[in-house]
A = this chain, B = another copy of it.
Amino acid sequence: MKRIADSTVRRLSVYLRYLEDLAARGIATTSSDELAQHSGTTPAQVRKDLSFFGSFGKRGLGYSVAELSERIRRILGLEREWKVVIIGAGKIGSALSTYRGFRQRGFTVVGVYDKDPAKVGRRWDSQTVRHVDELEADAARLKPDIAVLAIPAEDIQPEVDRIVRSGIRAILNFAPAQVQPPPGVALKNVNMAMELEGLSYALTNRE
């Protein structure tokens, strides 16, 4: 299959949410117009995005909600469980560890780590915070797929190195530092201030 751009993958996630919403309401078909309207894009973009997976939908009949959901779930790799470790037991880590949206999607938190002795040993939802020095040994046993980094920016590089040594091949970084992905590792930076900058841009440049 062709490599899909990040922006397309992101729109697929948005389409999937709307499709699941339709399914929950017992609606069996939808159209590119409707998908576009609920996803902040154009019908032409929807058709282009969905054309990556071969032909879909029938002119005048629209898309089957069940079939389209299932195909998008398969593309996004959501038909299996993904094991997630959270590095950083601060406020963001805490918010993430109990985020309902994760478990609904098959992302299971299998460990929470910190280096602060005041946090290590604390009970967190279904987890006990462990010292980050245990990560490599734990990972050999638990085989986590994804590490979420929720630590201060200045601590980031040694933790990225440790994650890579632990054999984890995907990182979601919440630290306000742009991290370069190590070779063979998928990495996404989530920067909350950057999201606000998108809004300050919109407020500044509105007509």
Contacts and interface: CB of A to CB of B under 8 A. Distances in A.
Choose among A172, A193, A200 the residue with the greatest number of B CB atoms under 10 Å from its CB. A200
Interface residues of A, number: 65
B84 A197 contact: no
Contacts of A91: 91, 94-95, 98
Interface in A169-207: 169-172, 176, 178, 180-181, 186, 188, 190-206
Nearest to A175: B101
Contacts of A190: 190, 192, 195
A82 B9 contact: no
Interface of A: 1, 3-4, 6-7, 9-10, 12-14, 17-18, 38-40, 75-78, 82, 84, 90-92, 94-96, 98-102, 104-107, 145-146, 169-172, 176, 178, 180-181, 186, 188, 190-206
